[in-house]
Amino acid sequence: MPLLVMKFGGTSVADLSRIENAAKKVQAEVARGYDVIVIVSAMSGETNRMVGYVEGTSKLYDAREYDAVVSSGENVTAGLMALRLQEMDIPARSWQGWQVPINTTSAHGSARFIDIPRANIDAKFAEGFKVAVVAGFQGISAEGRITTLGRGGSDTTAVAFAAAFGAERCDIYTDVDGIYTTDPRISSKARKLEKIAFEEMLELASLGAKVLQTRSVELAMRYKVRLRVLSSFEDTDENSGTLVCDEDEIMESKVVSGVAYSRDEAKMTLVTVEDRPGVASAIFGPLADAGVNVDMIVQNISEKNYGNHSGAVTDMTFSVPVNQVARAQKAMEEARAAGSIMYDELISDTDVAKVSVVGIGMRSQVGVAAKMFKALAAENINIKVIATSEIKISVLIDRRYMELAVQALHDCFELDKA
């Protein structure tokens, strides 16, 4: 039998009526001849409730017990989904992570997959079961303890099962009907994409598009798992949603496929750092050790003497998530106190946003950056920092211009047209 993986997020299983709605979608795929592995999240809000219980009980909690508690929401949903399918005369049973087993590392709260043996679930399919309902977001360590995969872990679970079982496709059901050229809340011209390449989706996910979790896209790209994003709340068929697939499946790509943005950015500048070999390592090593996620980096070289420095100096500018500014400041102050780096001043600007254009068509098309910068200039939007990759151009701008920039770039690259 062909096999399909279907994943339902928290809003898709938020109550019994939504679980029934999801079960009907599973029933439709069984009727099409598929064996189905269903991955479920906890009911909407349930994981936050469990986290609140843990933090209310113990401020310095044991991470192993934290995982035991917060993973319980998925177990409840899996059992309820299996019961609903059984009521619909579909042979189904639920599986917790340890029962499969989903073998993971011992990094509680952020575990990673080691392997997913097929034998137990394959045996049930051989007995005539049509659906295996698996609790997402969780696994089991070599020590026999329950682990969790971090937020968004159910998406990653679904992709991992699709890879392990050689599924024809992995369908991610959520509260949107696909992947759009940009956020429809910002641009009324946003258009739903029929297909998007793994690399494009990975960039969009990492840049702030929250439809798919970044780790799940990385895993899908590595194992060539075809993903489909579609709505739990609409009637669907084989052509619904957006297919995330290998570039080879897309006949002709537009130069730019989407515009992404992130509000929660900050720009930090170390003023008059000594320009010498190893200075970048001296800056970004301590930041990495402090758990600061550095994104865009710009170095301005100056041969002039400045302040208390003699010889060449440089200004180093980089962007970080706005909630990591204090941590970054502390890391830099400690590095200066230890004598590993010298700088005159650390300037932080927390009122910026990142806007990016993404598209695999950039590889073979010149002038994309010029077109982007011209569109922003026409709206009198000043660019503070620029970063590029093979299929992405990102700029840091004043946050108050973010929505205007997204709309201008969406129009500039005519993303409303198929």
Is 174 labelled a binding residue?
yes
Say if residue 175 carries a ligand binding annotation: yes
- β-sheet with 131-135: strand ranges across: 92-95, 131-135, 35-40, 3-8, 169-174, 227-231, 242-245, 195-197
Task: Tell me: is residue 272 an annotated ligand-binding position.
Answer: no
Is there a binding annotation on residue 74? Answer: yes
**Is 368 annotated among the ligand-binding residues?**
no
Asked if residue 304 belongs to a known ligand binding site, the reply is no
Give the chain as a 3 state SS string.
Answer: CCEEEEEECHHHHCCHHHHHHHHHHHHHHHHCCCEEEEEECCCCCHHHHHHHHHHHHCCCCCHHHHHHHHCHHHHHHHHHHHHHHHHCCCCEEEECHHHCCCEECCCCCCCCEEECCCHHHHHHHHCCCCEEEEECCEEECCCCCEEECCCCHHHHHHHHHHHHHCCCEEEEEECCCCCECCCCCCCCCCCECCEEEHHHHHHHHHCCCCCCCHHHHHHHHHHCCCEEEEECCCCCCCCCCEEEECHHHCCCCCCCCEEEEEEEEEEEEEEEEECCCCHHHHHHHHHHHCCCCCCCEEEEEECCCCCCCCCCEEEEEEEEEHHHHHHHHHHHHHHHHCCCCCCCEEEEEEEEEEEEEECHHHHHCCCHHHHHHHHHHHCCCCCCEEEEECCEEEEEEEHHHHHHHHHHHHHHCCCCCC
Residue 7 labelled as part of a binding site:
yes
* 320 exposure class (CB count in 10 Å sphere: 0-12, 13-18, 19+): buried
33 is in an annotated binding site: no
Pick from 265, 269, 286: which is nearest to 332 by CA?
286
Taking each helix axis from N to C end, the angle separating 402-412 and 368-378, rounded to the nearest 10 degrees, works out to: 130
318 annotated as a binding-site residue: no
Give the length of the chain: 418
Is 350 annotated as a binding-site member?
no
Give binding residues as ranges. 7-10, 47, 74, 174-175, 180, 185, 210-211
Give binding residues for ATP as ranges. 7-10, 174-175, 180, 185, 210-211
Give binding residues for substrate as ranges. 47, 74
